[in-house]
């Protein structure tokens, strides 16, 4: 297993913030908002977190895997590739599209 990129499986992410809190270099940043909805008509409404932004700064990541180990839902996994070269430090900050694996 290559400890390269980390992939985010958004459907499994509950925006619990555990990965961001446990990351030793604080290189994960995420924001979310809450939505209320009823699972069926007439049922009691429930509140759930909805992910807005999720970023990893590869310039600060040390590939320790703590975020993957600590995620309670399995929403993070090693992506199997190395992080591509960037022309600037800002280019090493990857958001949801890249973390989902949609940047090619």
By rule CB under 6 A, what string of x and - marks binding of each residue 61-90 to ligand SF4? Answer: xxxxxxx---x-x-xx--------------
Provide the minimum distance between the beta carbon of 82 and ligand SF4 in the complex, in angstroms, as a whole number: 13
Residue closer to ligand SF4 by CB (options 9, 102) is 9
Whole-number Å distance between alpha carbons of 43 and 73: 26
29 backbone φψ class: left, alpha, beta (φ>0; ψ -120 to 50)? beta
Among 7, 14, 93, 100, binds ligand SF4 (CB under 6 A): 14
99 binds ligand SF4 (CB under 6 A): no
Sequence-separated (6 or more) residues with CB below 8 Å from residue 100: 7, 8, 10
Helix (H) or strand (E) holding 20: helix 18-22
> Which range in 21-29, 38-46, 80-88, 94-102 contacts ligand SF4 by CB under 6 A?
21-29
Whole-number Å distance between alpha carbons of 67 and 30: 13
Q: Which residue has 């932004």 as its token pair?
A: 53
31 binds ligand SF4 (CB under 6 A): no
Binding-site ranges for ligand SF4 (CB under 6 A): 13-19, 23-25, 27-28, 30, 56, 61-67, 71, 73, 75-76
């Amino acid at each position: 297993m290559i400890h390269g990129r980390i992939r985010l499986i958004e459907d499994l992410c509950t925006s619990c913030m555990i990965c961001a809190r446990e990351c030793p270099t604080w290189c994960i940043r995420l924001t979310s908002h809450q939505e209320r909805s009823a699972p069926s008509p007439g049922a009691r409404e429930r509140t759930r977190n909805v992910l807005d932004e999720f970023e990893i700064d590869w310039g600060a990541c040390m590939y320790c895997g703590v975020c993957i180990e600590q995620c309670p839902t399995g929403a993070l996994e090693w992506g199997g590739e190395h992080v591509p070269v960037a022309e600037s430090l800002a280019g090493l900050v990857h958001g949801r599209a890249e973390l989902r694996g949609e940047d090619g």
